[in-house]
Each structure stands twice: as C-alpha cells, then as structure tokens.
Chains A and B, each alone.
Chain A
Amino acid sequence: MLTKNAAGVKARKRLCMTVNGRAVEIEIDIRESLLDVLRDRLQFTGVKQGCSVGECGACTVLLDGTPVNSCIYLAAWAHGKTVVTIEGLAQDGKLPPVQEAFVDEGAIQCGFCTPGVVLSTTAMVDSGKCFTHDEVRRELSGHLCRCTGYQKIVDAAERALREAEIAADEHPV
C-alpha cells in the first residue's frame, strides 16, 4: 500500500473520532469514505451502502448530531468529531422511542433504508423542533425507500415526534 503519492504527499492519516460513544483511533487512507471506514474497518455493518453517490441515504450516520451521507463524506473530515451509527442508538438492548415507533407502525419492510431513516428521524426528535406533516416528508426525502411508499415511515416519524413533544411537556428541561 502506498504511503506517499507521486507528489510526495502522505496518503495516510491517523484518524481520531468518537463512534457510538467510544474513542476510535485508526490509520486510514485519505481517499477512504467514512462509510468504508465504518463498515470495512470498524465492522459497523448497520451502515448500508446503496448508491455511493449520496442519493439514497442508506449510509446516513449522525455526525455531531447532524445526518450526513457517509458514502460521500471523507473519513478524514470526521477527525475530532462524534459519529453515531444505528448500532449506537439502543442502550442495553432496549429500543429507544424512535425505533419502537418504526417497529410498531410497520414502517420497516426490507430494512435496508431503515438505519438511515431512523437516524434522520432521531436527529429531528433531538432537535426539539416542531415539524408539520409536509416538513416531515421533506426532512425524510433524502432517504429512498422502495418498499413502503413512505406512508408508514412518515407515520412512525410523526408518532416519535409527537411522543417526544409530550415527554418534553411532562418533563420540561
């Protein structure tokens, strides 16, 4: 494996980031995407590869709380940042409300888009903002799903947002 390219520039880099609450330090090739590092090197296979061009959203992860398409995000850019993948949401095997809503509403079919949509919905819930129905549809429009026609995904997201709102009213911060 090359460590320098023709111009004498180092093609490898030491990457430090936090993934699902744990500090990770790993040497990467600077051409690697965050998706490749998460899947191939760190075995977070819940991050899915659907298109490699930032179109389908299956590879979505939360980067400092914001959803990004990890397939078109260089791993090197994640240096010093916090990454959450689908594997990082549930604690002690208990489903958080967003995931619970997806299971209960029948929002999952083949499941390949599910990790990405769940992470984007989680980011919406965590933002503490209110979303109209049209805004929910727009927020999720970066996730292609071929199974559901989006109906039950939107229902699950709205349910999770509603429940979070009620919880916030009952236990104001």
Chain B
Amino acid sequence: MIGASSIRKEGRAKVLGTAIYTDDKFMSGALHGLTVRSEVPRGILRAIHFGEGIPWEEFTLVTAADIPGTNLVASVVDDQPFLVGIGEEITHSQQAVLLLAHADRHLAEKARRAVRLEIEELPAVLDIQSSLDLQPLIYGTSNLLKEIRIAKGDPDPIWAQAAHVIEGEYRTGAQEQMYIEPNAMLSVVEPKDGLLQVTVWGSLQCPYYVHGALKQLFGLPEKQVRVVAMEMGGAFGGKEDYPSVNGGHAALLAWKSGKPVRLIYDREEDLACTTKRHPSRTRLRTAFDADGNLLALEADFILDGGAYATLSPVVLSRGAVHAAGVYRCPHVRIHARAVATNTPPPGAFRGFGAPQSLFAMERHMDRCARKLGLDAVELRRKNFLRMGDTMATGQVIREDLDLAGLMDRALASIGYRDKRAAFALINEDDSPIKRGVGFSVFMHGCGFTGNGESHVASVAGVEGLADGTVAVLAASTEMGQGKNTVFAQIVAEALQLHVELVDTAPVDTDHVPNSGPTVASRSTMMVGRILEDAAIGFKQALVQQGFLAEPYTPESFQAAVAKAVATLGTLRCYGQYHRPPNIQWDDVTYQGDAYPTYSWACYAAEVAVDLDTFEVKVADFVAVQEVGRVVNPTLAAGQIEGGVAQGIGWGLWEEVTMQRGRMINNQMTNYIIPTSVDLPRIQVIFLENAHAGGPGGAKGIGELPMDGPAPAVVNALENALGALRLDEVPMTPDRLLERCEEVSHG
C-alpha cells in the first residue's frame, strides 16, 4: 500500500471520457452567465449603459445593488467586492461590474459587448516602484498589503568587517497556472423546506473557502450553503482563491434568475482576469569571510500584490521564510512587502512565493561564487544547513539533513564535472550553439506556514459503507495530483486492507468535513496523518463493539464493516489536527518553527543556447529530492516531472505581457507553455528519509518541484555564456539577446 504505485483511482473514468467536469454536468434549462468588466485600471464607475438591439427584458442582470448579503469576498482580508457599484472605485482592468445571463450563449455574448461602462478615470499604479513611491496612493495609508520582518542576530556590524560583501537584484515575472480546464462554475439557488438553499458545483480546490464566501455573500447560515467539487482539469493554485469570486457570481445569477446558471470562462477571459503568480523584486546583500563562509544576509523581498490582498499576505509569508535558502547564516534580516498596484490581483500558484525568493537566492549564490573565485559547488557545500543548525526564524533543524549528499547525487547523475570541462572546450568553437550546466539547491516547507494548521484545525474521517468497503471523508480535492489514490493507500495501510476496498466520498460540503484547503503541499502529510488516526480509531471502534476480532483478513474486515453498518446505520470515525508539542510559532515576531518539516532538493540542468536565435533548449534535467517516504512512486514522479516542466516554462518562456494594467497576450497562442518537444526526459530521484510527523513517514511534495528549475536553468545559461546580467525570469530570447548586447557594448 504505502510505497506501492497503486493505479490512479479515477484514471479509468478519465481515460474513457466519462469523468464529469463542471461544464460536462447536464442541467436542464440552464442559463449561460457572463461577466462585464471595467477595462480601465482605475476610476470611478459613473453609469452602466445598455445598448440597443438587445432584448434586455429577457436577461437576468445582477449589479452590486442586488447583492443580498455582504459585497466582499471572504478571504485573508475582506477587501475585494464581488461587483463594483455606481459611484464606487474601480481598482483594476478586469473588475467585475455587471453579471448577465441568458439561455442563448451567443446572444449573451452579443449583449456583453453592447454594455458600455461610463468610468471617470483616475491615475493608476502599474508597477512595484510606483507603488512604493506612493505615486499615487491607492491602498490604505501606505500601498502595503502586508509587511513582514524576520530578524536573526544583527547583520549591521558585519558589513564593515567582512572580507566580501556582495549585492544583487533579481526579478521574476507573473506566471499563469494554465490548467487546461478553464475556471467553471454551475449554480442553483432555490427554496428547500421554506429556506433558501445555495448550491455551487465547480472546478475548485477549496470547497470550504467557497462555502465561507457564499455564506457571507448571501448572509446565510452554514446549512443553507452547499459546495460540490467536480472533477477538476488542473488547478496549481489557480482554483484556490479565485473560485470564491466566480462561485459567488454564478450563485448571484442563479438566485436572481431562479434557474440553473453555468458560468464557464473562455480561455481569453480566464487568462485576463484570474489570478497569477506574483511578480517579484528581491534585493540581496551577503557578507562572506575570506574562506567563503556566509556571515550575514539581508533580503528586501517585494511582491506585486495587485489591487486586493487576496492571498498576498500568506504568499509573502512563505516567500519571506524561504528567502535565506538552505544556508547556515548567523545574521539574517529579511524585509518583505506585498505592494498594491492597479492590476488584476495575483493569488496562489504552486510554490506560493518560495519560487520567487529562492530564484533570487540560488542565482545570487552562483554570482557570489564567481565573485569570490570559488566553485559554486564548494561554496554551497561550505554553507549548507545541517542537523542542529538554526534557520532564519530560529527554527532548529532536527532531522538528519544531508544537502551535500543530495547535491552530489544530482551532479553525478547529470555528469556535472565532465560536462563543465567538455563545454568549456567546445564553447570555444565558432559554432553558435553554446552549452552549459547549472544547478540549484532548495527546500520547500510542508503544510501551512506558522500557525496555519492550528487555525484551520482540519477534520477528516472514514466511513464504513453497506458493502463493507471504506470511504474517505475529506474536503481535499482531486486536481490531478493523485489525492484519491494516496488517501486510499494511507487508509488501506492503516487498516491493513487492499487499496481497492477504500475509495473517496464525493467532495460535497453536505457530506464531508472541512479537512482544510487543498494547497500548500499539505494533503498527503497533514490530512493523510489525520486519516491515519481516523482509520485506526475506526478499526478500534469495530473491535470494541464486537464486530471485528484481531487478527483479521481483508475479507473478515469487509464482512465486519458490512455487519456494523447494517446494525448501526452509519459508521463514521473522524480525526482532527493537533499541533505537535515541539512545534512553536509566534505570528508577531516571526520566530519559531515556520513549518513542521521541509522537503529538500537539488536540481541540475543542461542547456544549449543558439546564439543565432537566442533560443534555449534544456537538453538534460535531473531532479533529486528528499521528501520523506514516498507514498506512490509513480504519482510522486508525475508531480515532480510536471512541476519541473512548469518551472522550466517560468524560467524561459512564460511571459505575461501587460499593457495599461491588462494582460494583452491572453491567448494560448501568445502565452507559451512547454510542449512535448520543448522538454527533455526528466530524471527523477527520490532519497527517502521517513518523517515522523507524516503518514507512513511522508512529507509534502506538490510545490517543491516548482522552486528549483528556474535558477538551475539560468545558472546553466551563465555557465554557457559567461557573466551576464542574468537576473530575471523568464529569460526569453529577447531578454537574453539584450543581456548579451550589454556586454558587447560594454
């Protein structure tokens, strides 16, 4: 069970085309919903004009004035309206102003185009620096959505004493999640037993986030709101916070019309208006002694948070905690800020702030090695965190950590030394193709940052079914990562059953408890651990009530469950998260155990650059990671391979081009993600080191592979081309050409 590559639970339905995604759910008489958006980045909405030639009386129309409850999306900070009303401020180019629905999809689209918004434009803030300069002030009293300081020791006296002080500035661009299924919602609002019942079926990662948002939007108690997660065509964070917005929109239209409403975004709308990875700017200053020992580190880490807070405070938090990377350093100061701009708000995306700060740190280490005249491998080896060392937040490494071993394994697997030597020679040729090899070493915190798990206090359970099989009760969603299969393996292992006897209950808030959002590399490790407890409690209940005698066979267990269900009616057992006593965190000082544990990795990349076209080909890639015990090797490798592909895309090709605060390349034709010909075979190696806190020794895995590829690829570019200003991703051909020209022009 744990450690076996069990076949994906819903794989058969997916390969047969029978899996039901949101837009596949048939609903008789459903209307098609559409959203009218502002198009200007900032202004005051003065009027909505309805054009001629449209039978407006046939349409369901919803404006801010119609909202029955609170017109604010429930989130970390409740600052974002579902719809902007007349006389209110528009704060980004995709701000929703009006919802409309009609049975005829084509007529609805025609109607959307016939709406004209009268907006009194105001000056807008469109980049990080303008926001910091308060040009103009657009949010609160400082344009800051969140500010975090982390301090360890005192770097100030070190700068003057140190043999070397090295500074650098690094930037990363926005990135689109580009799940292949666009955002989709379906809603019905109807009276049931005299009470209004709001139901939303959708492509969403976090049913209870949407549930909370709908309660607030309609001013209804828990029981009158129901959220069902449908099969999901990818998410990567892109369906973490946004579904609270479009889920609310669908429900408003369903409520006003009294009919089922489908709100299915087309790709252009999805790309233009939904959340992206936060753009970032990181300034680093590091001090080293004459031998290359890291003495002090200062990081100024800034995220462009867009028009509303969304998840920026928590994205910033993870980015800040990861900013010092995998290095031992006695004096650290991290200043992190998320600033407001008049752009559509970014949100969650695999990695959640860590890819940004780790790109900066891992590029910086290579640049430091070059400046210190040291080998990038040896500089890292000298400074790696080890057991007993203290991280920036004061967290003590309690596990047997061997980063040098990870690094050596990755470098040996890609043939780092031989390739370096060979490329140094062949790059002297006249050929326009230059080759290089590079790597990055990094970590990813498993589960929520700080006290997140304590706040959510997740509940999950198992239920016996009439046929004697067992169902997993959790609100964790399947987005392709393999949750259905991994949860079944964990429960089967705890109960000593065949994995075929365990399945997942439909993720419906009427039926499953709040196991927390499906995010933060937390499902396997955190929810899996709760399920392990619940399963053991379930078995003990069967034994104590005389249905089951130990030892048992899978067959006798199944018979016992069937008998217990027949006798008792329902048979459920729940578990809940309890903070381990050795995990302490202070939200105010940012001191303590930022995460219960970390996954660790070294990724190595080989690139070939064509100096005629400035195209970059990733020729080889090795991903070595320590993720605790691997629950399902095939699914785990799939997570790593997919994450590496996304990371390479972010590093080289994926550019969100903004004009007046609006994404203008919002088509798959113009926003380039990797295809099967753009990627090499990715070698995935797991070094297993069981983690006591996870089910069967497992740690988190989903986000880790997003952190390492971009710095590894750009470090390889530097090896191929020499010292250039390779300080930004995506390093597109245009940008690379520009950097090469800087050198040739002096």
| A interface residues, Cβ below 8 angstroms from B | 43-53, 55-56, 58, 85-87, 89-90, 95, 99, 102-106, 108-115, 118, 134, 137-138, 140-154
Contact A110 B676 (CB under 8 A): no
Q: How far is the CA of A48 from the CA of B235 in the complex (A)?
A: 16
* Residue among A102, A103, A111 with the highest chain B CB neighbour number at 10 A: A111
Interchain CB contact under 8 A, A111 and B481: no
Contact between B17 and A145, CB atoms less than 8 A apart: no
- Give CA–CA (A147, B482) in the complex, Å: 11
A32 to chain B: closest CB distance in Å?
10
Contact across chains for A56 and B646 when beta carbons are under 8 A apart = no
Which residue from B13, B638, B674, B677 sits with its C-beta under 8 Å from A109?
A: B638
Q: Are B646 and A50 in contact (CB under 8 A)?
A: no
Contact A108 B11, beta carbon cutoff 8 Å: yes
Give the contact stretch, choosing among B78-86, B173-181, B550-558, B735-743: B173-181
A111 in contact with B267 given A55-B667, A149-B641 (CB within 8 Å): no
Q: A50-B180, A154-B676 are in contact. Are A148 and B642 (CB under 8 A)?
A: yes
Contact A58 B180 (CB under 8 A): yes
Give min CB distance, B639 to chain A, whole Å: 8
Known: A99-B16, A108-B15, A115-B17. A147 touches B642 (CB 8 A): yes
* Cβ-closest 3 pairs across A and B: A46-B17, A112-B233, A110-B480
Q: How far is the CB of B112 from chain A (nearest CB, A)?
A: 16
Asked if residues B23 and A144 are in contact (CB atoms below 8 Å), the reply is: no
Considering the chains assembled together, what is the distance between the CA atoms of A55 and B668 in angstroms? 6
Given contacts A44-B17, A105-B634, 20 further A-B pairs with CB under 8 A are: A46-B18, A49-B23, A50-B233, A50-B267, A52-B266, A53-B668, A90-B16, A103-B11, A103-B12, A106-B637, A109-B481, A110-B232, A110-B235, A112-B181, A112-B233, A141-B677, A146-B179, A146-B236, A149-B679, A152-B638
Binary contact track B1-39/A, C-beta < 8 Å → 1, others 0: 000010110111111111111011010000000000000
Interface pair B642/A146, CB less than 8 Å apart: yes
Task: A47 to B644: give the CA distance in the assembly, Å.
Answer: 28
- A146, B673: Cβ atoms under 8 Å? yes
Which of B10, B234, B669, B682 is within 8 Å of A147, CB to CB? B234
With A46-B18, A55-B667, A150-B676 as known contacts, state yes or no: A145 contacts B180, CB within 8 Å. Answer: yes
Q: Which residue of B7, B21, B232, B645 contacts A150 across the interface (Cβ within 8 Å)?
A: B645
B567 adjacent to chain A (CB < 8 Å):
no
- Given known pairs A56-B180, A106-B5, the reply for A43 and B26 (CB within 8 Å) is yes
Question: Cβ of B256 < 8 Å from any Cβ of A?
Answer: no
The answer on a CB contact under 8 Å between A87 and B16 is: yes
* B-side interface mostly: loop
Return the CB mask of B82-122 against A: 1 if under 8 Å, else 0. Answer: 00000000000000000000000000000000000000000
| A105 surroundings in chain B (CB, below 8 A) | 634
Give the residues in chain A near B475, CB-CB below 8 Å: none
Complex: chain B residue closest to A90, CB-CB: B16
Residue of B nearest to A31 (CB): B106
Known A52-B266, A52-B267, A151-B681; judge A103-B15 contact (CB<8 A).
yes
In the bound complex, CA of A49 to CA of B183 (Å): 12
Question: B429 CB to closest chain A CB, in angstroms?
Answer: 24
Asked if B234 contacts A146 (CB within 8 A), the reply is yes
How many whole Å from A27's CB to the nearest CB in chain B? 16
User: Assuming A108-B8, A146-B646, A152-B641, is B15 touching A45 (CB within 8 A)?
Assistant: no
Chain A residues within 8 Å of B16, by CB: 46, 86-87, 89-90, 95, 99
Asked whether B11 lies within 8 Å of A112 as measured between CB atoms, the reply is no
| A111 and B19 form a contact (CB under 8 A) | yes
In the complex, the chain A residue whose C-beta lies closest to that of B7 is: A103
| Residues of B in contact with A, size category | 35 or more
| Smallest beta-carbon distance A37→chain B, Å | 14
In the bound assembly, the distance between CA atoms of A108 and B480 in angstroms comes to 8
Determine if A109 and B480 form an interchain contact, defined as CB atoms under 8 angstroms apart.
yes
Interface residues of B (CB under 8 A from A): 5, 7-8, 10-21, 23-24, 26, 177-182, 231-236, 266-267, 479-482, 634-635, 637-638, 641-646, 667-669, 673-677, 679, 681-682
The CA-CA distance from A105 to B10 in the complex, in Å, is 14
Q: How far is the CB of A91 from chain B (nearest CB, A)?
A: 11
A150 to B681, CA, bound (A): 9
Which B-chain residue is minimally distant from A57 (CB atoms)? B180
Residues of B within 8 A of A145 (CB): 180, 676
Question: Could you list 8 A-B pairs, sorted by A, with CB under 8 Å?
Answer: A45-B23, A50-B233, A50-B267, A51-B667, A134-B677, A138-B676, A138-B677, A147-B234
Q: Is the beta-carbon distance between B24 and A45 smaller than 8 angstroms?
A: yes
A56 touches B668 (CB 8 A): yes
B15 adjacent to A114 (CB under 8 Å): yes
| A146 x B178 contact (CB < 8 A) | yes
Which residues in A have their C-beta under 8 angstroms from that of B232? 110
A59 shortest CB reach to chain B, Å: 11
**Assembly CA distance A138 to B180 (angstroms):** 20
CB neighbours of A50 from chain B (8 A) = 180-182, 233, 267, 668
> With A53-B267, A103-B7 known to touch, is A140 a contact of B676 (CB < 8 Å)?
yes
Contacting pair A111 B10 (CB below 8 A): yes
CA distance A138 to B676 in the complex (A): 7
Given B20, B634, B646, B676, which contacts A106 in the complex, CB threshold below 8 Å? B634
Q: Do A137 and B676 have beta carbons less than 8 Å apart?
A: yes
> Could you tell me if B635 and A144 are in contact, using CB atoms closer than 8 angstroms?
no
Q: How far is the CA of A138 from the CA of B679 in the complex (A)?
A: 11
Residues of A near B11 (CB, < 8 A) are 102-103, 108, 111
Chain A residues near B677: list those with CB within 8 A.
134, 137-138, 141
Nearest residue (CB) in B for A32 is B106
A106–B19 Cα distance when bound, in Å, is 17
Q: Which among A58, A111, A149 is the interface contact of B682 at CB below 8 angstroms?
A: A149
Give B232's nearest chain A residue, CB to CB.
Answer: A110
Return chain A residues, CB-CB under 8 Å to B646: 146
Q: Across the interface, do B667 and A144 meet the contact criterion of CB distance under 8 Å?
A: no
Task: Tell me if B644 and A144 are in contact (CB < 8 A).
Answer: no
Q: Tell me the bound Cα distance from A103 to B7 in angstroms.
A: 7
What residue in chain A is nearest B669 (Cβ atoms)?
A55
Q: How far is the CA of A49 from the CA of B179 in the complex (A)?
A: 12
Chain B nearest CB: distance from A134 CB in Å? 8
Contacts of A149 in B (CB 8 A): 638, 641-645, 674, 679, 682
Query: In whole angstroms, what is the CA distance A56 to B672 when docked?
Result: 11
Q: Note all chain B residues with C-beta closer than 8 A to A106.
A: 5, 8, 634-635, 637-638
Q: Complex Cα distance A104/B642, Å?
A: 18
Which of chain B's residues have a CB closer than 8 A to the CB of A110?
Answer: 179-181, 232-235, 479-480
**Nearest Cβ in chain A — how far from B87, in angstroms?**
36
In the complex, chain A residues whose CB is within 8 Å of the CB of B643: 149
Contact of B673 among A45, A112, A144 (CB under 8 A): A144
CB <8 Å contact, B641 and A151:
yes
